[in-house]
Structure 1
Amino acid sequence: MNKITLSVVTVSLLMIQACADSKLDFSEEPKSSTPVPETSTKPKNVLFIMADDFNHWLPAIGYYDQAITPNINKLANQGVLFADASSASPVCEPSRQALWSGLSPTNTDLDGNSHAFIRDIPGHENVVTMNQFFKDNGYYVYGGGKLYHPGKMGADDTDPNNWSDLYTQGTGAPGGSHYLWQSQADTRGLVKWSGSDAAVEDANDTKLALHFAEKIKNYANSEHSDKPFFFALGLFRPHLPWNAPKQFFDMYNPDDLPLPQGYLANDLDDIPNKNGSHIFAEIKQQNVWKEGIRAYLANMSYADYNVGLILDALEASPYADNTLVVFTGDHGWALGEKEHWGKFALHDQANRTTMIVKDPDAKGNGEISRKVVSMLDLYPTLADAANLAIPAHVNGNSLSPLLAEPNDPNWTKPIVIRYNGTLIIKTNQWRLVDNGNQSQLYDIVNDPNEWTNLYGKLGYETITAELKAELAAWVNAKEDGIPGFDTVGTGDSDTGGEIEPVIVENITDLTAKKFGCSIELSWSDKSGEIAYIIRRKVVGEASYGNLVTVDKDTVKYIDDTVTSGVNYVYQVRPDFADAGKKVSNNPEIVPDPC
């Protein structure tokens, strides 16, 4: 049995004192003047906490031990910590849209920050989001902070009509003059960090946490107390810029911080599409790598402080023993692994996050699950744990078996990730990035840091073929085999029949060649497509941009908008209408001058 041991660190006294100064004192308050029925007769409440860009550096996971997160550690000791949890996509928007809708990016084609809302996608206009599902089942559903993307609650793309009430104030924390650094390579102006002298309680993330703590404290006397509650809040830190009160920076000495264990010099040598970060190159060149790690950890600790305010309020309330609690990030964040600084990547660190589920009735509480799971699993898990029928449209799996037995040997379900048109399948032993001649294959049991790309190597042909077949079966099952897939949104399990499968194919023979001072693309025609989407990016950029959409049966396109000397990467996506869009291999080329 893999029990979590809480480590005691002297510096955590700072956070205890900060909690004492947070203007909340539950010690002298009666828990409630309203009697609360026994948990066996009252539906379970839900407390759902997200922290933006919170990766898998929680000490108990075992990857990076120096993060000071006593409050999240405590929650992990009370629930089940999923040590190998991944997002559905390594970017805020598709990850969050998948989480709240229950639909994989393989269904929605939302696999980048395109600023699209799930209900804007044809066929998904009436999808039942998780917050709507609980509201429709009699819950008082209250949301605040960054839950959807982009951020502020109340906007059209935060599903405003399917919450009972909303907290619409801002998130984050101000910057200051301490430990200040800013990247010159980042044109967005986001890659920077600083410590502030501002009072902790004046920062927006802390205001958000204090507000939800008060909601929990006062719920028994509220007009909604006859209903179970679903409280969801999204903290903005540790999202960039890494600004936090100075006291959280002071918890760490950069000289004492090790580099991430997953870092290996020249680790990109066996990856065909080298996707190193120019920002990370700048950080190394300026010798601020450990300062950057300290800034990220400071923001993790600041997020942990705010989580503590909320969990303390729950613990002091009459609902402590009847509330499902979730803590999760929205994806991962690399701090030098694979020469990368950030998310927006096919590497495992860009998807790995911290995920904890506490069900007061779960037999596995206090244990660590090492099974591969997805954030897509949270929607069905919460429905299941609340004794509600899981909506038919959701793509994830209920984690109830793992809440009972966290390392159940029978749990062999793969997870599927999609980013920028590329599919990834991960099992308990293997991770395959299925990207044509730029594919990657890792044995994550024997090579957990993914230092050796096995794709195309002798002896791995069979497992590669098996994983590709399993990936295709997963995608087809989720896209074409879900009852009610054409009529998602009712929340019922009998809203339609299965869709007749449509056979669709990726393009595997896309070529790019010089044509004067332009680039000529060519590929083989597919059957059943309605159009082809031509996409391009510069090597090193995170995302493709759409150049043009051409008619079906087109097999050639000339790009005359290129700049000589620039290294471009191309992608052509066949669009099969209701069957979805597929991808292609990704040739690189540098055009000649005119």
Structure 2
Amino acid sequence: MRTKLNFLFLSVTVLAIFGCEQKEKEAPTKQRPNIVFIMSDDHAYQAISAYDDRLINTPNIDRIANEGMRFTNACVTNSICAPSRATILTGKHTHINGKIDNHTPFDTTQVTFPQLFKKAGYQTAMFGKLHFGNSPKGVDEFMILPGQGHYINPDFITKNGDTTITGYVTDIITDLSIKWLDKQRDPDKPFMLAYLHKAPHRPWWPRPDKFREFSKKTFPLPETLFDNYENRGTAAKTAEMNLLTHMQYGHDSKIWPETIEAMGGVEPKVEQLQASVYNEFNRGTEEQKSAYKVILDSINQDFKTRWPSMTDKEKMIWKYQRYMQDYLGSISSVDDNVGRFLDYLDESGLAENTIVVYTSDQGFYLGEHGWFDKRFIYDESFKTPLLIRWPNEIKAGTTNEEMVQNLDFAQTFLEAAQIEAPDDMQGESLMPLLKGQDDQWDREAVYYHYYEYPSVHMVKRHYGIVTKEYKLVHFYYDVDEWELYDRKKDPNEMNNVYNDPEYASVVERLHTELDELRKKYKDSSALDQRYIDIYKNRAK
């Protein structure tokens, strides 16, 4: 009897274990999420109402923050378009991936995260502005703008050759992205979609209805609009991106050349680009040009009437308002289209298992320090918007203050998709932060390096270390100057305290930490000189 009971017990145990093993084998693996990477070009965080609502309301972009996570210390490794994009694609600093500036060719032997997604069974697509190359690697389907692209009736590079599409670029890029999701992708595969806006890149052409609406608006002036750089070094004093003295009358402010000619010239004189208001305007159909011309003529009449009697201060304000009208009008269309895209995700049922990221390739000056453009390590240029929504994974409406970079995007996407990241990627996955596990994040400082000098806007070469509290910067090449900013006490970065005795210990510590970061990321004085030599040889 005992033997029969033992046999029965053993049989039940074996069956139970076997059954458990079968269930483990049959249990489905967690479904891999889709990735939608939305990036605009030169979209300042100050122009997203989730960050600051003084300039514009962006309710649709804000939806991503409200339903996900908003990062307040997201930043870039090199604040200029093509290098930033190369860093995002490769997960490596620009001195490693080779794309140090907008002119140096991208090293096509570099592995990009779309390649890894495609290899892992994802379907991949890219629509909009890439900025370099004409055949993105690892992308099943693409339609990309050549170079900077156009706002009006833009051209696109495709697998089957170039094509031109009639309409406004922001609407078109959204149409292409939604069409691919709705009609062209394989619904049985997870997807990675790069949905990349040209707007609000210079020269800022809003759609005609937005142009009409925003040309009548007046915007608050930035606190530092009339900065004289007295407590900064040579770099800030010599940069060529001042609204009054460097912003183009035609290319930027939309003044007809005939207007300036009829006025007998205007002061201050600004070196004019060959590109004028006509370069974009003449791309329009007669109907499109007619819609724009009414507004352009009104702007020109106001300029012709008021400009000659204005003081320099009044001229600066006039140029600032014109800049904001066009820049923010372009962003308003981006926000509308992001809303249209998010609505499609919701209505199609895709939203539930899709990570949506909204960011920019860097920050941008909106009149702060009297500037437009980017390039500097100073906050308006260095910081970038970053909003991430992931239903059931990211707690809605959360804010994160950790130091994160565009360097981290590739590894984050790969980990979310359960794809192993290459060992030579230099970022850190944001997954602990997305899941609210901030105690597992140990980065205290980030590294920055800008190279494109001498060049347009004349921002000197520099590298630096940034923590939540401080920013230490070294400007080099034709100068040798150091700057230190107390980010808590001086958020506008108006006072360089590098030589202040009270900060001596901070300077000493940050120098050590900067040296360590340069070693960690494999940057060096030898590499600095190598890229200087490459630049000089190219200029010959």
Query: Please, what TM-score do these two structures have when normalized by structure 1?
Result: 0.65
**C-alpha separation in 1, matches of 2:224 and 2:53:** 9
Note the alpha carbon deviations across 1:197-252, whole angstroms, 9 max, x for none: xxx98213211201211222336xx5x22211111121101001110113224444
Match in the other structure for 2:507: 464
Deviation at 1:440, TM superposition (A): 1.6
Q: Which has the larger radius of gyration?
A: 2
Match in the other structure for 2:195: 233
Mapping of 1:41-440 within 5 angstroms?
Answer: 41-60=30-49, 62-63=51-52, 65-119=54-108, 125=109, 127-147=110-130, 149-150=131-132, 157-168=133-144, 172-174=150-152, 202-218=167-183, 222=185, 224-252=186-214, 256-263=218-225, 265-273=227-235, 274-277=237-240, 279-282=242-245, 285=315, 287-405=318-436, 411-420=442-451, 421-435=461-475, 437-440=480-483
**TM-aligned CA distance change 1:61 to 1:314, over 3 Å:** closer
Note the alpha carbon deviations across 1:150-201, whole angstroms, 9 max, x for none: 3xxxxxx2553421122246754239xxxxxxxxxxxxxxxxxxxxxxxx98
Note the alpha carbon deviations across 1:467-520, whole angstroms, 9 max, x for none: 22222212212228xxxxxxxxxxxxxxxxxxxxxx85699xxxxxxxxxxxxx
The code of the aligned residue for 2:465 comes to I
**C-alpha separation in 1, matches of 2:143 and 2:533:** 41
Gaps of 5+ in 2: 1-26, 154-164, 248-312, 452-460
* 1:58–1:73 contact (8 Å) kept in structure 2: no
Of structures 1 and 2, the one with the larger relative CO (CA 8 A, separation 6+) is: 2
Alpha-carbon RMSD:
3.1
Q: Give the percent of matched residue pairs that are identical in Structure 1 and Structure 2.
A: 27
Note the alpha carbon deviations across 1:446-477, whole angstroms, 9 max, x for none: 22211211112212222122222222212212
Higher strand share: 1
**C-alpha separation in 1, matches of 2:28 and 2:369:** 48
Match of 2:516 among 457, 473, 476: 473
* 2:375–2:382 contact (8 Å) kept in structure 1: no
Note the alpha carbon deviations across 1:304-355, whole angstroms, 9 max, x for none: 1222222111111122100111111101111222332212334322222211
Match in the other structure for 2:157: none
Match in the other structure for 1:486: none
Deviation at 1:264, TM superposition (A): 5.4
**C-alpha separation in 2, matches of 1:406 and 1:71:** 27
The SS at the match of 2:125 is strand
Note the alpha carbon deviations across 1:342-397, whole angstroms, 9 max, x for none: 12334322222211122223243321222221111111111122222232121111
**C-alpha separation in 1, matches of 2:531 and 2:208:** 51
* 1:91–1:343 contact (8 Å) kept in structure 2: yes
* 2:152–2:167 contact (8 Å) kept in structure 1: no
* 1:90–1:344 contact (8 Å) kept in structure 2: yes
**TM-aligned CA distance change 1:63 to 1:343, over 3 Å:** same
The code of the aligned residue for 1:270 comes to R
**C-alpha separation in 2, matches of 1:345 and 1:98:** 17
Higher helix share: 2
**TM-aligned CA distance change 1:262 to 1:136, over 3 Å:** farther
* 1:217–1:314 contact (8 Å) kept in structure 2: no
**C-alpha separation in 2, matches of 1:74 and 1:266:** 38
Match in the other structure for 2:266: none
The SS at the match of 2:401 is strand
Query: Please, what TM-score do these two structures have when normalized by structure 2?
Result: 0.71
Match in the other structure for 1:449: 492
Deviation at 1:411, TM superposition (A): 4.6
The code of the aligned residue for 2:462 comes to T
**C-alpha separation in 2, matches of 1:255 and 1:218:** 40
**C-alpha separation in 1, matches of 2:115 and 2:531:** 35
Note the alpha carbon deviations across 1:243-277, whole angstroms, 9 max, x for none: 01132244447664112245453235422332343
**C-alpha separation in 2, matches of 1:325 and 1:247:** 28
Deviation at 1:406, TM superposition (A): 8.1
Deviation at 1:109, TM superposition (A): 4.6
The code of the aligned residue for 2:114 comes to N
The code of the aligned residue for 1:365 comes to A
**TM-aligned CA distance change 1:53 to 1:267, over 3 Å:** same
Gaps of 5+ in 1: 1-37, 120-124, 151-156, 176-199, 481-502, 508-528, 536-544, 550-560, 562-594
The SS at the match of 2:352 is helix
Matched residues, number: 420
**C-alpha separation in 1, matches of 2:220 and 2:59:** 20
* 1:172–1:235 contact (8 Å) kept in structure 2: no
**TM-aligned CA distance change 1:372 to 1:158, over 3 Å:** farther
**TM-aligned CA distance change 1:258 to 1:40, over 3 Å:** farther
**TM-aligned CA distance change 1:266 to 1:409, over 3 Å:** farther
